[in-house]
Structures are given as structure tokens and as C-alpha cells.
Structure 1
Amino acid sequence: MDIRNTLSVGEDFLPMLADCKERKVKAEMILDRNGLERAEGFVKNILNQSADPAIELEDGTVIQLKTIVAVNGLFLPSYSEC
């Protein structure tokens, strides 16, 4: 069984993504959009004014925070084992 590094229960990736934006570090993500897929890029904007926060990458891609299951090797607790 493979064990992964995870966020604490109740945490989300917003602070980590804000740090990536501030430090101009690429965010490498795994998304769950009815199946797992990879996404990566530099965070251009954090769109957290609504009830459904999202990020915008420099290439214009908008990713809803609720679809992100991992950022730079750190996973949600529900994805801790495979």
C-alpha cells in the first residue's frame, strides 16, 4: 500500500496556491473531474469572491478549487492511499 503526504482534515489548497502565486512557483496539480487528470501552470489569479473559489493559470485555464485533489505532491486526506 502506498501512503501519501496529505493536508489536515478541513484544510484546503488555497494557502498553498496563494504561496505558489506569490513566489512564482509552478503548481502541479491532480484534478478529479469525473476521473483524475493532471494540470500545471503558474497561478495568475485567485478567484475566491464567490462560494465556489477557483484559480486562474497564466494560460487562462480556470480550475475550481473543489476539483483539486493534490498540489505539488500534497494530497487531500481522502486520497491518502492507493
Structure 2
Amino acid sequence: MMVIETTFKPIWPVPVQIRIGAGRSKQVKGPEDALYYITNRWPSTKGNRLELARLSCMRMLKRQERCDDARNAFVSAALEANVLVL
């Protein structure tokens, strides 16, 4: 019997633009990217929307959350942190 492994890397139909600090704006293309920025680059470690976005993106990667819901949660966290580029 042959086993084939696949990688599940969802992307959002429309990336989210963020700018953290004085750097260039970045495109966040999906929940995996969002978790990277939330974990490693976010300007604040506190915030209700931040925690909701973290949980929502993790659930999306486990296929327990809709992609749109994870994106919306990330956009809300980016607004809260003042890093969303409109």
C-alpha cells in the first residue's frame, strides 16, 4: 500500500496588507502567514482581537474554521494593532 502525504496551505482570495513599524508593507496571504506575523512581528502581545485571530488561524489550519472567518479575525486584529494598510 502506498501513502501519499499532502501539504494543506490555504490562501485567502484577497491578501491582507499590513505595515509593522517603519518597514515596508507586507502581504499576508493566509492563516500560516498571519500566524507568523502575530507570533514574531506583532507590535503588541495583548488584545482580544489578537487572541481571537491567533485561535481562528490555528483552527483554519486544522480545517476547523472557514477561511473567510480566519481572514476577518486577522483583519480585526490588524485594525486593533494599527498595522492594517487600507
TM-score of the aligned structures, taking structure 2 as reference length: 0.31
Q: Which has the higher helix share?
A: 2
Q: TM-score, normalised by structure 1?
A: 0.32
Specify the structure having the higher radius of gyration (Cα).
2
